[in-house]
Amino acid sequence: MTDGIINVLKPPGMTSHDVASRIRRIYGIKKAGHSGTLDPDAAGVLPVFIGNATRLLEYAATGTKHYRAEGIFGIRTDTGDDSGNILEINPCTAIAETEFEKVLQQFRGTVLQIPPMYSALKVNGKKLYEYAREGIVIERPARPVNISRLECIKLYPPYFSLDIECSKGTYVRTLLEDIAVSLGTCACMTFLLRTRAGDFSIKDSHTLEEIADAPERMLLPLETAVCKTGKLYVNDLQAFRITNGVRTTIKGTASGTYALYLAEVFLGMVTVEEEIVKPEKILVQVKQPPGLV
């Protein structure tokens, strides 16, 4: 089985699911999943995990995301972007840069955000956008998200563009709408480019055509997903015990989550509590060392 991660430069016009399906065909595999859904009209970094790498998706999904976004004041749509049906037109008056900056300051840090109806978030096993297409509106509680960077690139009413770094689960369309409401108007998103997702950067990403031309060269090793996680190196006996499901005491090991290694071989993920190493996601099962009774 082919295992690894591909840093895909998703084109606009494809769903994230479409991209994962294309990767399955290119590599001739059945297991593939992506980290962090991108809207169909959006472009940018979309890490796709194949084979055993899919077991590491939960670790990669925790990283922050970096976006370039453009919006237009004075138009509100049902989808939050310019692909949707127009619900409101509110001609935009001039907005001063000082006023705009003052409002942006309100959205830096932890803010509450209501997920949009046109999103892949599931409620009772069904995606919100499926309800929306049926004309059904579901109650969505506000959720905290963190906006660690929010800078104006250009303000040219009715358009504006922003540089955004945010936590997992942040909806940029909703952020742009909320900013507009604080300015006494409405807005929708006209452009979105994800330039980074966790440790995956757009400068290292590849188009689907490039990947199809050289699939093996584009494949990153599994441990790329957890390269910022602490490493725990073990000996042959410890590796055998842990990868075969045995909790093992390793003196002096601080509590936390670790990537487990035997020499330079990545074995999987473990957690440590009170110096006891517990296997969590084991990708390589180590054989019993010779001479062990």
In three-state secondary structure terms, 269 is strand
* Chain mean pLDDT for the chain: 93
Burial of 206 (0-12, 13-18, 19+ CB in 10 A): middle
- CB contact set of 121 (below 8 Å; sequence gap of 6+): 115, 127, 128, 140
H or E stretch including 191?
strand 187-197
Token digits for 188? 């929708």
The answer to whether residue 194 sits within a structural domain is no
Rounded to 10°, the helix 97-106/172-182 angle is: 120
The domain total for the chain is 3
The answer to whether residue 293 sits within a structural domain is no
The answer to whether residue 289 sits within a structural domain is no
Pair 120, 174 in one domain? yes
H or E stretch including 210?
helix 208-213
Q: Which of 192, 183, 178 is nearest to 70 (CA)?
A: 192
Q: Tokens 């003196």 — which residue?
A: 251
Sign of torsion over alpha carbons 155, 156, 159, 163 = negative
- Domain with residue 259: its CATH number is 2.30.130.10
The answer to whether residue 118 sits within a structural domain is yes
Pair 183, 253 in one domain? no
Q: Which of 259, 263, 264 is nearest to 282 (CA)?
A: 259
Pair 176, 128 in one domain? yes
Q: Which of 287, 283, 282, 285 is nearest to 271 (CA)?
A: 282
Pair 102, 149 in one domain? yes
The answer to whether residue 25 sits within a structural domain is yes
Is residue 3 flagged as an active site residue? Answer: no
Confidence of residue 293 (pLDDT cuts 50, 70, 90): low
For 20, other C-beta atoms within 10 Å of its C-beta total 19
CA distance 252 to 234: 13
Confidence of residue 61 (pLDDT cuts 50, 70, 90): confident
Q: What is the pLDDT of residues 248-268, one digit of tens each?
A: 999 999 999 999 999 999 999
| Residues 36 and 167: beta-carbon distance below 8 Å | no
Q: Is the pTM of this model over 0.75?
A: yes
Q: What is the pLDDT of residues 206-238, one digit of tens each?
A: 999 999 999 999 999 999 999 889 999 999 999
Pair 207, 247 in one domain? no
Pair 38, 87 in one domain? no
Pair 171, 219 in one domain? no
Catalytic residue among 39, 41, 163, 199: 39
Pair 179, 236 in one domain? no
pLDDT at position 63 is 79
Q: In the predicted model, what is the mean pLDDT of residues 120-133?
A: 88
Pair 82, 11 in one domain? no
Q: What is the CA radius of gyration of the chain?
A: 22
> What does residue 240 show for φ and ψ, rounded to 5 degrees?
-60, -50
Q: In the predicted model, what is the mean pLDDT of residues 121-132?
A: 88
Burial of 99 (0-12, 13-18, 19+ CB in 10 A): middle
The answer to whether residue 31 sits within a structural domain is yes
| Residues 83 and 34: beta-carbon distance below 8 Å | no
For 210, other C-beta atoms within 10 Å of its C-beta total 14
Pair 79, 183 in one domain? yes
CA distance 247 to 1: 28
CA distance 105 to 179: 10
pLDDT at position 292 is 64
Q: In the predicted model, what is the mean pLDDT of residues 5-11?
A: 97
Q: In the predicted model, what is the mean pLDDT of residues 5-20?
A: 96
Pair 97, 162 in one domain? yes
Domain that holds residue 87: 70-189
- Domain with residue 99: its CATH number is 3.30.2350.10
Pair 57, 114 in one domain? no
